[in-house]
Every structure is written in C-alpha cells, then in structure tokens.
C-alpha cells in the first residue's frame, strides 16, 4: 500500500513472454499490493510465464478481444480486487516500472487523480527510438486535441497511465472501443468529467520485442483520434450528445 491506499498494477498482455519477467522484476513491490495480467489469446506462452514468475491474478481470453478489450478486463478485475490506485503498465518493457512510485505519490497524496508518463516531455521519444513518422503524427494529433478539447497535455498516446479508483468508477470505459482508440476515448472521458491530468517525463524504448502497430493501423488510429476530439468538442458546446460522455449509472 501507499498512504493506506491499495495499489494494483495491470498488465494488458499479448505475446509478451520474452519481456514479461524483465518488466515484472522492476515493479516496486514495497508499495504494490496486487498484479493483474490479462493475456489476450497470445500465440506464445505469456500466461505460463506469468504464473511461473508469481503473478496471482492471470486471466486468459479465449478469443482475442483487442487492446481495448484487454484493458476493460484489466480495470474491471482491479476494481473487483478493491484497488484504490490502478496503474496500466505494458509488459513489453517499453516503459520502465521504476517511475511507478513517483507517479503513485501524486495520487496517493490527493494531488491528482490521473498521472501519465509522457514520452514527449524532455527527449525521451526520439532518443528511445520512436520512428520519426510516429513522432510527427503524435505532435500533430496532440496539437489538434489540445485545441479541440481545451487541454495542455504534451501527449495523449502514451501507454503508461495511472488512475484513482474514483476516476474509473466515474467514466463508462466499458462502452469504449476494443481497439487501440480505447486509450484516447478514455482520456477524453476523463477530461470531459473535469479531472486534471498530471504528466511525468518518461523514457521509452523501441525494439523488436516491444509492441507496436503498423502504418496502416496507425493511420486508422489517427483518424479515430480526430473523430473522438471533434465528438468531445461538439458535446461540450451541446451540439451533440454521445453515450461516450455519459456518466456511469
């Protein structure tokens, strides 16, 4: 626990057998209470490795549900376990677990309800090997989102995210897409509810085993991001009403 609050790490996994142990070994278990891994029907032995290294809560999807569908299972299980603070950590070792404690203190001390690890603050993205086309797309999309959503984030596309349970209980993330756009929809929902988001500089690594999406899927994701941002804007000015921004019943 941290400041009397239960901290649960969630690991949305897909073919992460080669990097899972390296990621797991850096988790600061002096403050982490539980780890949940959801294996989205991997073709390797991710679930077996997870059990071997001691992860107590391993869920295996019988059918591949996609990146967003995986996260839904993760968050639902974390809340079921009574988590007060939930951190999403990719098991591909692209983001270091060593920042987890610093991020957690911001929520545990009631300073923020949401903290994300930003690859763009500082020089982490390009230094870590982010492809230049992804960097340029990230900057364009972030600028567009900040304008349409009246925010000042350095990026919306990091996979390193920490939330208070209050946040997860106040947004209807289960209606979001099962694809990669889930991440963006979730941040839009959080902003719509008025939660401020803290950012911490996060180094990142790009290598063969790190998960990534190809150019075609990246382009689809980019169009989806713009669609979510415009939907946010039109809902804010009362020109549209989307279920995406309805509070949970």
H/E/C letters for each residue in 57-73? EEEECCCCCHHHHHHHH
Name the band, by pLDDT with cuts 50, 70 and 90, for residue 216. Answer: confident
Joined together, the tokens standing for residue 51 give 């059990």
Q: Would you state the structure tokens that stand for residue 38, as one six-digit string?
A: 């959801």
38-68 pLDDT per residue, tens = 999 999 999 999 999 999 999 999 999 999 9
Output the pLDDT for position 217.
Answer: 78
Q: Is residue 248 situated within a structural domain?
A: no
CATH of the domain at 180: 3.90.550.10
Over the stretch 5-31, which tens digit does the pLDDT of each residue have?
999 999 999 999 999 999 999 999 999
Classify residue 249: in a domain, yes or no: no
| Nearest residue to 26 (alpha-carbon basis) of 74, 92, 72 | 92
Domain membership of residue 138 as a residue range: 7-243
Structure tokens, 21: 């142990």
Q: Which residues on adjacent β-strands are paired with residue 85?
A: 7, 164
Residue 200 lies in a domain: yes
Q: How many domains are contained in the chain?
A: 1
Residue 124 pLDDT exceeds 80: no
Dihedral (Cα; 104, 85, 203, 131), 10-degree rounding: -160
Residue 158 lies in a domain: yes
**Per-residue pLDDT reduced to its tens digit, 142-172:** 999 999 999 999 999 999 999 999 999 999 9
Residue 219: C-alpha distances to residues 66, 214, 222, 226, 233 (Å): 17, 9, 5, 11, 21
With pLDDT > 70 as the criterion, what percentage of the chain qualifies? 92
pLDDT confidence bin for 37, thresholds 50/70/90: very high
Residue 86 has pLDDT above 90, yes or no: yes
Average pLDDT, the chain: 92
Look at strands 7-13 and 34-39 and give their pairing.
Answer: parallel
What confidence tens digit (pLDDT) does each residue in 91-108 have? 999 899 999 999 999 999
Whole-number Å distance between alpha carbons of 248 and 121: 33
Alpha-carbon distance values, 249 to 77, 83, 119, 164, 243 (Å) = 19, 20, 35, 18, 12
| Residue 163 within any structural domain of the chain | yes
pTM: 0.91
- Let me know if residue 159 belongs to a domain: yes
Residues 6+ apart with CB under 8 A from 30: none
Confidence of residue 218 (pLDDT cuts 50, 70, 90): confident
Would you say the C-alpha torsion 133, 222, 216, 38 has a positive or negative sign? positive
Whether 181 maps to a domain, the answer reads: yes
- Return the pLDDT at 12: 98
Is residue 2 included in any domain, yes or no? no
């Amino acid at each position: 626990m941290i400041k009397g609050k239960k901290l649960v790490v969630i690991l949305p996994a897909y073919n992460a057998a080669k990097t899972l142990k390296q990621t797991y070994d850096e988790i600061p278990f002096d403050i982490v209470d539980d780890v949940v891994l959801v294996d989205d029907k991997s073709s390797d032995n991710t679930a077996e490795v997870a059990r071997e290294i001691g992860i107590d809560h391993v869920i295996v999807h019988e059918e591949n549900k996609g990146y967003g569908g995986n996260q839904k299972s993760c968050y639902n299980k974390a809340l079921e376990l009574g988590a007060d603070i939930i951190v999403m950590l990719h098991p591909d070792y692209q983001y270091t677990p060593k920042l987890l404690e610093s991020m957690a203190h911001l929520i545990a001390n009631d300073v923020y309800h949401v903290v994300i690890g930003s690859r763009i603050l500082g020089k982490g993205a390009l230094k870590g090997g982010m492809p230049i086309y992804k960097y340029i797309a990230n900057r364009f999309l972030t600028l567009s989102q900040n304008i349409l959503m009246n925010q000042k984030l350095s990026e919306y596309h990091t996979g390193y995210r920490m939330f208070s349970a209050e946040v997860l209980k106040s947004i209807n993330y289960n209606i979001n897409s099962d694809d990669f756009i889930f991440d963006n929809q979730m941040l839009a929902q959080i902003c719509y509810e008025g939660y401020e988001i803290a950012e911490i500089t996060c180094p990142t690594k790009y290598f063969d085993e790190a998960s990534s999406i190809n150019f075609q899927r990246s382009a689809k994701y980019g169009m989806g991001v713009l669609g979510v941002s415009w939907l946010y804007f039109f809902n804010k000015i009362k020109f549209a009403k989307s279920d995406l921004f309805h509070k949970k019943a």
